[in-house]
Structure 1
Amino acid sequence: MRIYGLKACDTCRKAVKALNGAVFVDVRAEPLERAQIARFLDAFAAALVNTRSTTWRGLSQDERAEAHADLLVRYPALMKRPVIEDDAGVLHLGWSKDVQAALGV
């Protein structure tokens, strides 16, 4: 199981703590490849971009109009997190009760 997020994110820390043995990938320290971002976007579409974040609010209107993949490459903190890939390769977004139940937590 892999958890993609930011090491400073409280929600990511909760997921790591609850999912013993999961590998944590800090997307700032280890930037995602375009293929990974494309896979995440295929699974979650626009929900992957956190439009409530400080980073999003700091973007110009022109930047906000760019492709989501380009924005996520440049600004990894824009990714809604955590993105969790379970052992079967299924992707989950966030740390809601539904995600926790799906992962058996």
Structure 2
Amino acid sequence: MQKKKLFVVLLILIASVLIAGFVIPKETHPPSDTRIVLEHNQSTYIAPTCFEEADPSNFLEENTLEHAEEINYEPHDTCTVETLQSEEDRLLISVLKDIGLLDTKWDD
């Protein structure tokens, strides 16, 4: 009888966690290793999808979003801001994206 109660409690707990995972909202941010282009003349960074319209100089470097933020570079333009904007997901989906089981819009 004790095992049956424990099984029911565990089943209810698992169901509650799953339901909460599909109901609770969470922002999914771009990973720190997201590839960007540093524009050193203007101390900005450019998302690769925005590179053509950005009209960059020749003083460029490919790096990560984390590095750009460490050296206090700003987004180059609104295209970069919009491209790297957080996504609003449900908790479970966001966690699956964070651990790499689901693709994000920032994946190459």
TM-score calculated relative to the size of structure 1:
0.30
Which structure dedicates a bigger proportion of its chain to strand?
2
